[in-house]
Amino acid sequence: MIVDIKNLTHHYDIDVLHNVSLSLKKYGSIALIGKSGSGKSTLLRILSGMEKATTGSIHVNGYPVSDPVYKKKVGFVFQNHNLFPHLTLERNITLILEKTRGVEKENAKEIAQKHLRLLQLGDQMHKLPKHVSGGQAQRASIARALSLDPDVIFLDEPTASLDPILTDEVLTAVKKLRTLGKDFIFATHVISFVRNFADYVIFMQDGVIVEQGKTTILDNPQTEAFKDYMSKVH
């Protein structure tokens, strides 16, 4: 995937991202790490086109992120699954396919069921999100992102609200997705997952990129901030 960010600054009340630039061409799985509040979620939302940056030019795979065409090629997995609570797992997917992608009803069902099965949810798809476990809901949310056939999938701390067993369950599911040939950008605190899933790592602090590089930078932090972070997540 090609990620091209030039002088991205974003502020709410204060500057949340500060003059971020990034140019990556050949990585398929990019990890964002850093303390809470460092701006990972904000960067993901901006890269996925969900939120408009205050200033800066942001392109992914050649599209400006505000391009409606790009938005249809994006999948997003939120921290707390964020499934629509009044719809079954299956309907959470088919509603989007039918209403926003113009997919026929029967066809939409087929696509939804295929992806729910892929994430081992074949026997859960007619349940409401509140009637399945947190890990299952999170996997359903991954299935939802996949069903839209995106080029890039964003995951914002997909396991932050789960216990260790469910975390493992979800991350195992995500790993399998590598074989589908999709690109990923994700934020997480699970360093072991970054090690064997990411091929590029970006460490952020206070709205700026402090260090970046191949996964090996995890073993050789240069700055105090990164050293400090690595000592805390282990």
Ligand X SMILES: Nc1ncnc2c1ncn2[C@@H]1O[C@H](COP(=O)(O)OP(=O)(O)O)[C@@H](O)[C@H]1O
Contact residues: ligand X, CB under 6 A: 12, 16, 34, 36-42
Own/partner contacts of 162-165, CB < 8 Å, gap of 24 or more, are 162/134, 162/135, 162/138, 163/134, 165/135
The half-sphere exposure of 228 on its side-chain side, counting CA atoms within 13 A, is 8
Which residues, in sequence order, are bridge partners of residue 81? 78
> How many helical (H) and strand (E) elements, i.e. helices and strands, does the chain have?
8, 10
Residues written for the chain: 234
d(CA 34, CA 206): 9
**From another protein, ligand X, Mg ion, none, which one binds at residue 12 (CB under 5 to 8 Å depending on kind)?**
ligand X
Span near another protein by CB under 8 A; candidates 44-52, 55-63, 183-191, 217-225? 44-52
Under the binding rule (CB under 8 A), the answer on residue 135 touching another protein is yes
Spatial CA neighbour of 76 closest among 18, 17, 8, 158: 158
Minimum distance from residue 104 beta carbon to ligand X (Å):
37
> Judged by CB under 5 A, how many residues of this single chain contact Mg ion?
1
CA distance 115 to 173: 12
131 is an interface residue for another protein by CB under 8 A? yes
Nearer to ligand X, 40 or 144 (CB): 40
Strand stretches in the chain, DSSP E: 3-11, 15-24, 29-33, 55-60, 63-64, 74-77, 152-156, 183-187, 200-205, 208-213
Q: CA-CA distance, 29 to 43, in Å (whole number)?
A: 16
101-107, Cβ contacts within 8 angstroms, sequence gap of 24 or more: 101/72, 101/148
Backbone angles phi, psi at 57, to 5 degrees: -115, 125
Is residue 64 near another protein by the rule CB under 8 A?
no
Contacts with another protein, 65-104, as mask; x by CB under 8 A:
---x--xx-x-x-x-x-x-xxx--------xx--xx----
Binder of residue 113, out of Mg ion, another protein, ligand X, none (CB less than 5 to 8 A by kind):
none
Shortest Cβ distance from residue 113 to Mg ion (Å)?
31
Shortest gap between Cβ of 48 and ligand X (angstroms)?
13
Q: Is 195 in the site for another protein (CB under 8 A)?
A: no
Residues between 10 and 49 with contacts to Mg ion, criterion CB under 5 A: 41
- Hey, which residues between 146 and 165 contact another protein (CB under 8 A)? 148, 165
Closer residue to Mg ion (CB): 35 or 71: 35
Where does this chain bind another protein (CB under 8 A)?
45, 48-51, 68, 71-72, 74, 76, 78, 80, 82, 84-86, 95-96, 99-100, 120, 130-133, 135-136, 148, 165-166, 168-169, 172-173
Residues that bind Mg ion (CB under 5 A): 41
